[in-house]
Structures are given as C-alpha cells and as structure tokens.
A and B are shown apart, each in its own frame.
Chain A
Amino acid sequence: DVKVTQSSRYLVKRTGEKVFLECVQDMDHENMFWYRQDPGLGLRLIYFSYDVKMKEKGDIPEGYSVSREKKERFSLILESASTNQTSMYLCASSSRWEGAATGELFFGEGSRLTVL
C-alpha cells in the first residue's frame, strides 16, 4: 500500500521555537509538496520540490523553509514559530507530470501544530 508518512500527528510548541515537520514517501515520487490547511481557506501551498535538493516557493513561503536531501524525504522547517503558524500541515507527493497519466497527489495524514 502506497504511503506518505508524516512524523508527528500533533505538536505543541512555544513561540520562538524551531520546529521540524518530517515527511517520507515510499512511492519513488519526484514531486513533493507542503500545504497548510486552515478553516475556510482550503489548502495553501507553502513550498514544493521537484527533485532532490530542488525547492520552489509556493503561495505562502514566509516564515518557512524546506529541505530535501533525499528523494523520499521532504522536511518543513519553522525557524522561529509564531502563533499565526498554528495550523494543520499536509505533505503530499506525486509522480513527475507526464500528460494525463499522473497529476494525482498522495497525502499524509497531516500534522496539527499548535504554537503557544
């Protein structure tokens, strides 16, 4: 069964702490994504990566950074957590786009972060 695994389902951190959210996929996918999900706002793209060591900013990258040292792993980093980063974070992966055959995203179960 294909899988995207996020390391922590629930985290509670304090303002100013450095936070790491880890994501691992076992499908040998080239593309990986980090989204933030907030009520009424849907999913907003933070960063994505289309290859090892490659990263691109999404719609809301401010306050976040990412790391992709291995193909299967994509990490989201909050250098100094703030209360407005309290949210659900979703990791996803997909195969490299090849016409109509792909495009489907596979999601992890999410990491709910609370910053106090």
Chain B
Amino acid sequence: AQSVTQLGSHVSVSEGALVLLRCNYSSSVPPYLFWYVQYPNQGLQLLLKYTSAATLVKGINGFEAEFKKSETSFHLTKPSAHMSDAAEYFCAVIPKGGSYIPTFGRGTSLIVHP
C-alpha cells in the first residue's frame, strides 16, 4: 500500500528564513504527488502538484517542490518565510494507473516567528 511520511510534526522558522518541509513516499513506481495547505479554521487548498512533467514544481505563494526519484522525496520549500505562511501543510500521493484516492501524510505545522 502507498504511504507518505512527513518528517517533523512542527517546523519553526523566523520570518525571512528558508522554509523546508519534508515529504517521502514509499512506492517503487513514482506516484502523483501533491502539497496542500490548511490555514486555521479552513479546509485544505492545493499548493502544487507533480504529475511526471518537470521535476521542479512551482506553486502558489512562492512555494516550490522538487521531485527526487532516487530519494523518493517531494520536499516543499520557500526561500523566505512570511508570517502569513503559518499553517498546516499536508503531503499527499495518488498511485499511478489505478486508484484516484489520495493518501495523506500526517501534516506539518509551520510556525513563523517575527
């Protein structure tokens, strides 16, 4: 079964610092990969997705993620954190060639300090 691991339930950065949120998947065949963001008291919204085109994917709000097959990873980055980036971030995978049902990681809470 497909699984996805997000390292670190909480990540704390200073405003202006680099943001790095980690996501690893377990699959011999690279799946489709997604990052979602959830702001307080809201539902999730898509940040970006990898669907086997370019390995570096750009998303909304200055975020990007790089697919690395050799590391089975899809880490999310942003060069400079903003206070408004404070939220919960979820990595999700959908296996190719079958189910359209995503499996979500447990989430990483991003805390941004002034």
* A residues lining the B interface (CB < 8 Å): 4, 31, 33, 35, 40-43, 45, 48, 58, 90, 92, 94, 96-97, 100, 102-105, 107-110
Contact = CB atoms under 8 A, between A and B. Distances in A.
B83 interface: no
Contacts of B94: 97, 103
A100 B51 contact: yes
Contact of A4 (B43, B49, B92, B104): B43
13 contacts: A43-B90, A90-B43, A96-B100, A97-B94, A100-B32, A103-B32, A103-B49, A104-B34, A105-B102, A109-B41, A110-B41, A110-B42, A110-B43
Nearest to A108: B43
A48 B101 CA distance: 9
Given A42-B107, A109-B41, A109-B42, 6 more contacts: A100-B51, A103-B32, A103-B49, A103-B100, A104-B46, A108-B43
Nearest to A91: B43
Contact of B44 (A41, A90, A97): A90
Contacts of B90: 42-43
Given A42-B90, A42-B107, A94-B100, A103 B43 contact: no
Contact of A103 (B44, B51, B104): B51
B58 interface: no
Contacts, number: 58
Interface of B: 9, 32, 34, 36, 41-46, 49, 51-53, 90, 92, 94, 100-102, 104-107
Given A31-B100, A40-B9, A109-B43, A103 B107 contact: no
